[in-house]
Amino acid sequence: MENSNLIARQPILNKLEEIVAYELLFRCPRSLSSALVTDATKASASVIVNTLSNFGVSDILGGQRGFINVDSDLVMSESIELLPVEQIGLELLEGVEVTPQLIERCRELKAMGCQLALDDHDYSEAYEPLYDGIVDIIKLDMIKTPLDQLYKDVERLKRFPVKLLAEKVDSRAVYLRCRGMGFELFQGYFFARPSLIQKRRLEDSVNTMFELMNKLNCDAGLDDIEESFKKSPALTYKLLLLVNSVSIGLREKIRTVRHAITIIGMSNLKKWVQLAIFAAEDSRGLANPVLDMAAVRAALMENLALIHQELNLYRCAPEQAFMVGILSVLLDFYDMCMDEVENKLNISEPIRNALCNREGKLGQLLELTELLEQGAVDEAEARFSEFGLTLADVQECQMRAYKWRNGLV
């Protein structure tokens, strides 16, 4: 994977706050060139190359659609037709000049089955030929666009057969206002933060999952683990749905906890229990953006720990890294303090230090993962050598994390 780049993905949600697509974000570390890549065509071309060759579309997106940014040059090029139109959509960057040639090209791509979007858009009469049956989605920037202009643009655009997407939604107040204005799709930092979940929802069913996590961590016997599952039939059902998702190749589906433990093994069962906490009180299941974030973060940390120059010396390190990833999201998204978590789980000192102070090797690994999530690639890359990692190592781990998460569906 020489001269590889990192590709992040940001969820796009519907009105039910379910993930329905991702935007693929190009991230180029400084070390790959003497200067940052600022040319839109080059950046988007790199996304295409990495998506098709290094990652693979299905590994990144699973069954969802992904959108990449393109300028007019890339839209007009034949290379764009290499993309699988059933999974990749195109976002035309702001400022693209509307010409007869561009309109005809977009019409051709639309006829091929490609979904088209306008990125960071302000209403303009010049774009009306694209609004009217060619473009599928129009993205409006909630931070950059003045509120009075936003209302005017929305009213003008409602006349056309397009879906409006609110991007850079950074608070629940903005999200609710956008819903009231008629936006159907949403994207932004808000959806990766705590506000989406009603806090203090650690009801009996979730407490049962903590009990299970603790028993699994303490290597409790099969009968004891089964007894805990019996306390929450609803969560048992949801847990088995998760376990069944990885049972591809088995001649029969897993229907009982005992069968699940026998076939899947204790190590994997621990992961499903940890993820089930996020799905327990939520009807969205795997379309929940919080569960999505937790699964990718935990799997990425687990894979990084496997090749970390120090952590890889300890057999339990990957499992601990996975748990740190899960619990770090849990502490963010529920109104909990570390003392509450410790009362429910038998947490080791390295895990506590990682979660509370980002200390120790696990804490440093958590910091690295958070930097990658935030798109702070240059700052993250500066730490690779400290852990004995290369850019190609991190990209491979990222690919494995996305692939593992997508295997849950």
What is the identity of the amino acid at 265?
G
pTM listed for this prediction: 0.72
Q: In this structure, which CATH number among 1.10.3210.10, 2.60.40.10, 3.40.30.10, 3.20.20.70 belongs to the domain 204-406? A: 1.10.3210.10
Report CA 310 to chain centroid distance, whole Å. Answer: 28
Query: CB–CB of 84/134 below 8 Å?
Result: no
- pLDDT, residue 159, reads 94
- Contact assessment for residue 322 and residue 329, using Cβ atoms and an 8 Å cutoff: no
Q: Around Cβ 371, how many Cβ atoms within 10 Å? A: 17
Beta-carbon contacts of residue 182 (< 8 Å; ≥ 6 apart): 154, 158, 164
pLDDT of 182 reads 94
Instruction: Give pLDDT, residue 104.
Output: 96
Which residues 6+ apart lie within 8 Å of 9 measured at CB?
A: 22, 23, 24, 25, 60, 61, 66, 402
Contacts of 187 (CB under 8 A, 6+ apart): 10, 11, 12, 13, 23, 139, 165, 166, 167, 168, 169
Q: CB under 8 Å to 176, separation ≥6 — which residues?
A: none
> 119: closest CA among 139, 145, 149?
139
Task: Please answer whether residues 278 and 347 qualify as being in contact, where contact means their C-beta atoms are separated by less than 8 angstroms.
Answer: no
The three-class DSSP label of residue 22 is strand
Q: In angstroms, how far apart are the furthest CA atoms of the chain? A: 71
Residue pair 261/222 in contact (Cβ under 8 Å)? The answer is yes
Q: What is the pLDDT of residue 241?
A: 60
In the chain (409 residues long), the average pLDDT of successive 10-residue segments reads 64 90 75 44 60 68 87 84 86 91 96 95 95 96 92 95 94 90 89 44 60 80 77 60 54 65 74 71 66 87 91 83 87 73 77 90 92 83 87 88 77
Q: Are 94 and 71 in contact (CB under 8 A)?
A: no
Domain with CATH 3.20.20.450 in the chain: 6-192
Distances 126 to 122, 153, 370 between C-alpha atoms, Å: 11, 14, 41
Q: Where in the chain is the domain with CATH 1.10.3210.10?
A: 204-406
Query: Could you confirm whether domain 6-192 is CATH 3.20.20.450?
Result: yes
Block residue for tokens 């327990």: 280
Confidence at residue 289, expressed as pLDDT on a 0 to 100 scale: 80
Residue 23 CA to residue 40 CA, distance in Å, equals 15
Side chain identity at residue 151, one-letter code:
Y
Q: Is the separation of the CB atoms in 121 and 87 below 8 Å?
A: no
Question: 313-318: long-range contacts at Cβ-Cβ below 8 A with a sequence spacing of 24 or more?
Answer: 317/361, 317/362
329 phi and psi angles, rounded to 5 deg: -70, -40
Comparing CA positions, the residue from 331, 380, 307 lying closest to residue 28 is 380
Report yes or no: 381 and 30 within 8 Å, Cβ to Cβ.
yes
DSSP reduced 3-state for 188 = coil
pLDDT at residue number 35? 34
Q: H-helix or E-strand containing 69?
A: strand 65-70
> Which residues are paired to 302 by β-bridges?
none
DSSP 77-90: SGGGGGS-TTTEEE
